[in-house]
Amino acid sequence: MPVERSVEAAFAAGLLDPSVSVPVQVKGQTPRRYAVYRNNVTVGLVRALEANFPAIRRLLGEAYFAGLARQFVQDYPPRSPLLFHYGANFPAHLAAQDDLAAYPYLADVARLEQLWRQAYHAADAPTLAPEELAGLDEAAMADLRLTPHPAFALLASPYAVHAIFTANRAAGAAVADPARPEWVMLTRPRFDVIVKPIPKGAHGFFSALASGVTLAEAAEQGFACDDSFDLAAAIRLMVEAGAFQSLSLRATP
């Protein structure tokens, strides 16, 4: 025989599951009264997902999103009271929906929304100043490594994830051709998150740099991704957007 459940366990069991009856410990076993808590919890968490994934909400429509979100909060209630991080596995949940198979870009749009919030709440840090790079000896260049800014993130997608994200965070127009690849960089030099589509080669270059390899190795990676990789343009882009916070000169990581 299982141990008798605590009041709290019995109360919690039905909060997200409408098929569970009112806990016996509740005086009078009043369904409408217990339902206030169920409703508070469900509506509150569905609203949290709406706030966290506004582009997905617009793409799916309010009613469809609410239904999907209700299912998600029942299956995956938050594990942290930091609700602005809630829904880390919502993109995967979207990808797993058979009904949404015709919209394969949704998961990556949701990933971009998740990355946006992570960037928004990331730690404050200075960004690499152009003078720091300008002042380097030519001989030091080969061993140059960069430390990414805490808000820096990259996303590569086979879909036009930036165009769809941008159009649906505000009331923008529909994106005509979602099935084209895009590479996206997120930075937050001070308070505003910058979401920028970048060339494929720059994505490979930044990705390598952020992993801690030298500038030379990262440049090689950029060309490996894309023959037309423009190293000077990519360096300019990263400094302008505040992708990195500091540099170091060491032969090995």
Least CB distance from residue 19 to another protein, whole Å? 9
Hey, which residues between 160 and 199 contact another protein (CB under 8 A)?
162-164, 166-176, 178, 187-194, 196-198
Q: Which is nearer to another protein, 21 or 40 (CB)?
A: 40
Q: How much is the CA Rg of the chain, to the nearest whole Å?
A: 23
* CA 12, 18, 20, 25 torsion-angle sign: positive
Task: Please report how the helices 31-52 and 106-121 are oriented relative to each other, as an axis angle in degrees rounded to 10.
Answer: 90
Q: Which helix (H) or strand (E) holds 43?
A: helix 31-52
Q: Which is nearer to another protein, 92 or 233 (CB)?
A: 233
How many Å apart are CA 155 and CA 153, to the nearest integer?
7
Q: Which is nearer to another protein, 3 or 123 (CB)?
A: 123
Least CB distance from residue 212 to another protein, whole Å? 13
How many Å apart are CA 237 and CA 190, to the nearest integer?
16
Hey, which residues between 208 and 247 contact another protein (CB under 8 A)?
215-217, 219-220, 223, 231-237, 239-242
Least CB distance from residue 94 to another protein, whole Å? 11
How many Å apart are CA 253 and CA 208, to the nearest integer?
13
Exactly one of 2, 79, 101, 228 binds another protein (CB under 8 A); which one?
Answer: 79
52 binds another protein (CB under 8 A): yes
Exactly one of 21, 44, 158, 248 binds another protein (CB under 8 A); which one?
Answer: 44
Question: Which residues are 148's β-sheet partners?
Answer: 244
Least CB distance from residue 170 to another protein, whole Å? 7
What mask of x and - would describe binding to another protein in positions 113 to 152, judged by CB under 8 A? ----x--xxxxxxxxxxxx-xx-x-xxxxx-x-----xx-
Q: Which is nearer to another protein, 71 or 92 (CB)?
A: 71
Least CB distance from residue 225 to another protein, whole Å? 14
Exactly one of 4, 80, 101, 250 binds another protein (CB under 8 A); which one?
Answer: 80
How many Å apart are CA 181 and CA 164, to the nearest integer?
12
How many Å apart are CA 114 and CA 49, to the nearest integer?
11
Contact 87, 53 (CB under 8 A): yes
Least CB distance from residue 137 to another protein, whole Å? 8
248 binds another protein (CB under 8 A): no
End-to-end CA distance of the chain: 57
Contact 246, 147 (CB under 8 A): yes
Q: Give how many residues touch another protein by CB under 8 A.
A: 130
* CA 90, 96, 98, 101 torsion-angle sign: positive
Q: Which helix (H) or strand (E) holds 58?
A: helix 54-60
Least CB distance from residue 1 to another protein, whole Å? 20
158 binds another protein (CB under 8 A): no
